Amino acid sequence: MSPDSAPPDATPRREFLKSAACVALGGCALAAPVGAVVVVLSHPMHSKGTPQPVKLTSLAALPLHGPPRFYQVVAERRDAWTKFPANAIGAVFLQRVGESEVVAFNASCPHLGCAVEFRTERGCFYCPCHDSEFARNGDVRGQSPSRRGLDTLPVEVREGGEVWVVFENFKTGVAEKISLA
Amino acid sequence: MIRPLLDWLDDRTGYRKLTREALYENIPGGSRWRYVWGSTLTFAIVVQFVTGVALWFGYSASAQTAWESIFYLETQVPGGWLLRGIHHYTAQLMVPLLLLHLMQVVIDGAYRAPRELNFWFGLGLLGLTLGLSLTGYLLPWDQKGFWATKVATNLMASVPFIGGTLQKLVIGGSEYGHHTLTRFFALHAGVLPAALVLFIAGHIALFRKHGITARRPLRRPDAKFWPDQVLKDAIACVAVAGTVLALVWWRRGAELGAPANPAEAYSAARPDWYFMALFQLLKFQDWFQQHLPGGGLLWCVILIPGAIAAFLLLMPLLGLRKAGHFCNLAGLWVGLGFYGAFTAMAYWHDLGDPKFAPQYAASVALEHREAARVKYLATKHGVPPEGALALLRDDALTQAPKLFAAKCASCHSYDGGDGLGRPLADTQTAAELKGWGRREWLRMFMDPAQIVTGRVWGGTAFVHPPLGKSRSSMVDYVLEEIPKFTPGQQAMLERVILAVSAEAALPAQRAADTRDAALIEQGRKDFGPDGLNCADCHEFRGEGGGKGCDLTGWGSRDWTIGITHNPADKRFYGRRNDRMPAFGEKGELSRPQIEMLADWLRGTVE
């Protein structure tokens, strides 16, 4: 057969119906596997984290109006199929701004999530990835790429001066503080 | 608009010619149903690739996470069970489809020159598919996959000269663990599929080169592949997909057993059904050992399967002559007959044969129970970092019956059996312990008709003392005093039973204990000198005492742990203890093990 000749057929209508049936049946046969794949692979779109209060330190460890202190947040965590009794879930800076008043910043940069440091000599927070700078109160400073200041986290000072922080992460790269939980 | 773009594409790729060649291939004698098998297999392979890659997105190949990640997929990810079910049952269906394809090719003589090479490509695909099945079987890391794969890889060691090395390479050392999974996974998702793609490319290219081998005589005019044959192929693929979905639905997805436990042999582990004939062949190892030189294993694992493979490979050469073709056909049918017969025999042994079936059923039942239990625990508590197996290891409901069977059932019974529901191996010499702590148990104990039976003390020195010693005064009391009780004393006895049973503080009796609080309070008084004088021998709530056990807290967790720890303690039987070992004190059972036994006997495990 010459590859250029059209397929000989007397009844194009019949031929068209057959072709359409082929496509429809092929779709039917693949529908379930492809459907299952799409549903399973899109599962992460519906899963969310849960903010949880974590005990970090006590007031005694935070000098009044002292420099921000860095704390790793270690908490019980369900990572997909495993439940870890103590898993590092993030980091925060704590500053004691009053007798029993503590401010907490999520230590991840609101720009793109790098780890922010506190520069004692300049008295500000600094992100070494893309040069974002934040004042001690968390506000963006100077020509920073970050669209918003550092993300504050709710702090509870409980009995005995225990400092608890409700840890959660936020959407990066935008001006609004949008919870990912 | 579209046309110039397609022209441009065609200029660069020549796709029009390619698709035309692919679609408008001539089929002498028209389309036929017997030609659909190759297409259904291609369809099945596409499904396996698509679903397999999606499973890969959620699978974690390590001994602590393989089972766990699949359990997560099955229970937490919507559609996960369906995805895995489709992958599993499509694999199951590929084997009969491969056999049908092979039969059609041989019967139609499509394997003869010049198509030998293509036939060998096909045999290679058959081997690769079986390899994919074998490697995939282990990946869930459940008891069935683990123990079946252990057997399969041990068989590999019987290959002469290189077997041992081969086995170590495949399982990643001499122990089964992380590396076994990473290697099987690399084979299953990387090496074998890549080889499969190459073989399919060769297979289809050669098939197109030589064209279809039409069944003679030609009954109808020639037709084109598209759409005539494709329509039949598509219908067959829909039938395959429908069968897979029906199986997934009927079986509620693919099975996930209890997590692999190297310390807990699973004797009912079987390979997938299409390997059952080979499994059965191994049961004849001894016959080969006796009657043929070279050792039974060599025959069962190397020579017989090797001869089958050699026969298949030589078919195209044999088939050049007409007699050879008939020889091939005969060999194929006889081989299939044996395959079917051995498969049937294997299933008969497991499911019907009174010699093997009960053991198989018991083993399967235990595995199913543990699978259900671990899934319950994993859902309730989450899976710890050590993996799901740790949930079963620390679970009283799982471990206590096994401990009971191993340590206690040589004397005690539980519900008339050994704790695991099996009949007792030894004659029972000590008390039945089902319902320990409950009122019913005490009523049984205080029953003159029962105390001398094997269900209570019938087998002990308390009833049958050694020469020169006397019977326990408790037995005297039950046998001689209780039958003479006045109705008033009988009522007292019942209240004492309620009071002593209340000491156990069983969760199952909490409602009854609360309801009967007044009777229990009265029963505590009846225990003493104003009642049945039990306190003459037994200490109870800080009063009385003598030769008998301290019944304060009788049947409680602490009391039960205590008597298991050391029954010869003065709080319990003291010097009068009859043969019960001090399980805790002698280190026969660890503290957590004794606690699990106590919790299980007291029925407090959720």
Would you list the DSSP string of A28-74?
HHHHHHHHHHHHHHTGGGG-----EEEEEEEGGGS-BT---EEEEEE
Q: What is the mean pLDDT of residues B473-494?
A: 94
Lowest mean pLDDT among A45-49, B175-179, B538-542, B588-592: A45-49
Contact state of B226 with A82 under an 8 Å Cβ cutoff: no
Spell out the alpha helix ranges (H) of B57-112: 66-76, 80-107
Q: B383 touching A, CB under 8 A?
A: yes
DSSP states of B400-414: HHHHIIIIITTT-BB
Q: Is the C-alpha dihedral spanning B140, B146, B147, B150 positive or negative? A: positive
Chain A nearest CA to B130, separation (Å): 22
**Nearby residues of A159 by Cβ (< 8 Å), 6 or more positions away:** none
CB half-sphere exposure, B20, CA atoms < 13 A: 13
Q: Is residue B426 part of a domain?
A: no
Determine contact, residues A180/A119, Cβ cutoff 8 Å: no
- Taking a C-beta distance cutoff of 8 angstroms, is the pair A1, B26 a contact? yes
* Closest Cα in chain B to A25: B234
pLDDT at B255 over 70: yes
pLDDT digits (tens, 9 = 90+) for B33-70: 999 999 999 999 999 999 999 999 999 999 999 999 99
Q: SS3 helix, strand, coil % of chain A, rounded to 5?
A: 20, 40, 40
The Cα–Cα gap between B413 and B434 comes to 8
Q: How far is CA B177 from the centre of its chain?
A: 18
Q: What is the pLDDT, as a whole number, of residue B227?
A: 87
B72, A33: Cβ pair inside 8 Å? Answer: no
Tell me which residue of B53, B131, B138, B149 sits closest to B94, measured CA to CA: B131
Top residue of A43, A46, A81 to mutate, by most chain B CBs within 10 Å, is: A81
Q: Which of residues B267, B285, B303 is at a domain's end?
A: B267
Best mutation target among A17, A38, A40 (most B Cβ atoms within 10 Å) is: A40
B contacts of A81 (beta carbons < 8 Å): 60, 65, 68-69, 71-72, 76, 383
Please give the single-letter amino acid code of residue A71: Y
Q: Is the pLDDT of residue B512 over 90?
A: yes
CA distances from B84 to B77, B80, B91, B97, B421 (A): 11, 6, 11, 20, 34
Residue in A closest to B47 by C-alpha: A33
To the nearest whole Å, the CA of A85 is away from the closest chain B CA by 8
Q: What is the pLDDT of residue B245?
A: 98
Residues contacting A36, CB < 8 A, separation 6+? B51, B54, B79, B82, B83, B86
Cβ–Cβ < 8 Å for B554, B564: no
Note whether B182 and B305 are same-domain residues: no
Which chain B residue has its CA at the smallest distance from A45's CA? Answer: B77
Residue A173: CB atoms within 10 A of its CB come to 13
Whole-angstrom distance, CA of residue A59 vs CA of residue B200 = 69
Q: Which two tokens stand for residue A90?
A: 């993030």
Within this chain, do residues B143 and B240 fall inside the same structural domain, yes or no?
Answer: yes
pLDDT the model gives residue A43? 92
- Band of the pLDDT at A155, cuts 50, 70, 90? very high
Q: Which residue of B80, B230, B381 is in closest CB contact with A40?
A: B80
Residue pair B41/B236 in contact by the 8 Å Cβ criterion = no
Number of separate domains in chain B: 4
Q: In this structure, is residue B14 part of a structural domain? A: no
Q: How many CB atoms lie within 10 A of CB A55?
A: 14
Quick check: is B7 in a domain?
no
Interchain CB contacts (distance < 8 Å): A and B: 112
Q: Are residues B497 and B579 in the same domain?
A: yes
Between residues B429 and B438, the one the model is more confident about = B438
Cα dihedral B408/B411/B413/B418 (nearest 10):
60
Predicted pLDDT at B399: 95
Residues 150-179 of A with CB under 8 A from B: none
B169 inside domain: yes
pLDDT over 90, % of chain B: 78
Tell me the two tokens of residue B488.
């008033």
* Alpha helix positions (H), B173-269: 178-186, 192-210, 230-250
Residue B243 and residue B126 share a domain:
yes
Task: Of B191, B167, B172, B174, give the one whose Cα is nearest residue B182.
Answer: B172
For residue B392, the enclosing domain spans 357-397
Q: CA-CA distance, B547 to B545, in Å (whole number)?
A: 7
User: Rounded mean pLDDT of A130-151?
Assistant: 94
Asked if B208 has any chain A CB less than 8 Å from its own CB, the reply is no
Q: Does B275 share its domain with B263? A: no
Q: What length does chain A have?
A: 181
Q: Distance (Å, rounded) from C-alpha B442 to C-alpha B523?
A: 14
Backbone φ, ψ for residue A53 (5° rounding):
-70, 135
CB contact under 8 A, B231 and A28: no
The candidate with the shortest Cα–Cα distance to B105, out of B90, B84, B121, is B121
Confidence of residue B466 (pLDDT cuts 50, 70, 90): confident
**Which two three-digit tokens encode residue B301?**
């694992």
Contact: B227, A43; criterion CB under 8 Å: no
Has residue B8 been placed in a domain?
no
Are residue B250 and residue B275 in the same domain, yes or no?
A: no
Question: From residue B248, how far is each of A127, B136, B568 by CA, in Å?
Answer: 52, 17, 58
**Is the pLDDT score of B473 beyond 70?**
yes
Mutate: best of A16, A34, A37, partner B, most B CBs <10 A: A37
Predicted confidence (pLDDT) at residue B271 exceeds the cutoff of 80: yes
Q: Residue B42 is part of a domain; what is its CATH number?
A: 1.20.810.10
Cβ-Cβ contacts under 8 Å, B384 against chain A: 82-83, 85
Quickly count helices (H) and strands (E) in chain B: 26, 4
> Under 8 Å CB-to-CB from B347, ≥6 apart: which residues?
B276
- B97 and B163 within one domain: yes
Residues B41 and B107 in one domain: yes
Paired tokens of B322:
């007409």
Question: Which pLDDT tens digit goes with each residue over B153-191?
Answer: 999 888 888 999 999 999 999 899 999 999 999 999 999
Q: Give a three-class secondary structure readout of B514-557.
A: HHCHHHHHHHHHHCCCCCCCHHHCCEECCEECCCCCCCCCCCCH
State mean pLDDT over B591-599: 96
pLDDT (average), residues A53-80:
93
pLDDT computed for residue A10 by the predictor? 57
Confidence of residue A133 (pLDDT cuts 50, 70, 90): very high
pLDDT value at position A3? 46
Tokens 């505590």, residue?
B524
The hierarchical CATH code for the domain A52-167 is 2.102.10.10
DSSP character for A160?
G
Tell if the CB–CB gap between A1 and B24 is shorter than 8 Å: yes
Of the candidates B2, B54, B396, the one whose C-alpha atom is nearest the C-alpha of residue A36 is B54
Q: Count other Cβ atoms within 10 Å, centred on residue B597.
A: 25
User: Which residues in chain A touch residue B21, judged by CB atoms under 8 angstroms apart?
Assistant: 3
> Nearest CA to CA, how far is A73 from chain B (Å)?
19
**Tokens 């999530």 found at:** A113
CB contact under 8 A, B385 and A26: no
Helix-helix angle B178-186:B116-138, to 10 degrees: 150
Both tokens of B507, joined, read 């969760």
Whether B97 and B161 map to the same domain: the answer is: yes
Average pLDDT over residues B405-425: 89
Question: Which chain B residues are within 8 Å of A78, Cβ to Cβ?
Answer: 382
Interatomic CA distance for residues B358 and A147, integer angstroms: 71
- pLDDT tens profile A101-126: 999 999 999 999 999 999 999 899 99
> Are B30 and B139 in a shared domain?
yes
Instruction: Kindly state whether residues B437 and B288 are assigned to the same domain.
Output: no
Reported for A8-15, long-range contacts at CB under 8 A and 24+ positions apart, including other chains, are: A15/B227
The pLDDT of B323-333, averaged and rounded, is 95
Domain membership of residue B410 (yes or no) is no
Residues B347 and B362 in one domain: no
pLDDT of residue B415: 92
- Per-residue model confidence (pLDDT) at position A11: 79
Does residue B376 register a pLDDT over 90? yes
Q: What is the mean pLDDT of residues B200-216?
A: 89
Tens of pLDDT, residues B105-141: 999 999 988 999 999 999 999 999 999 999 999 999 9
| pLDDT for res A9 | 52
Tokens 């005539």 sit on residue: B228
pLDDT band, residue B469 (cuts 50/70/90): confident
Stretch (H or E) spanning B475: helix B473-476
Q: A78 — contact with chain B (CB < 8 Å)? A: yes
Instruction: Mark which residues 80-119 of A lie under 8 Å from B by CB.
Output: 80-85
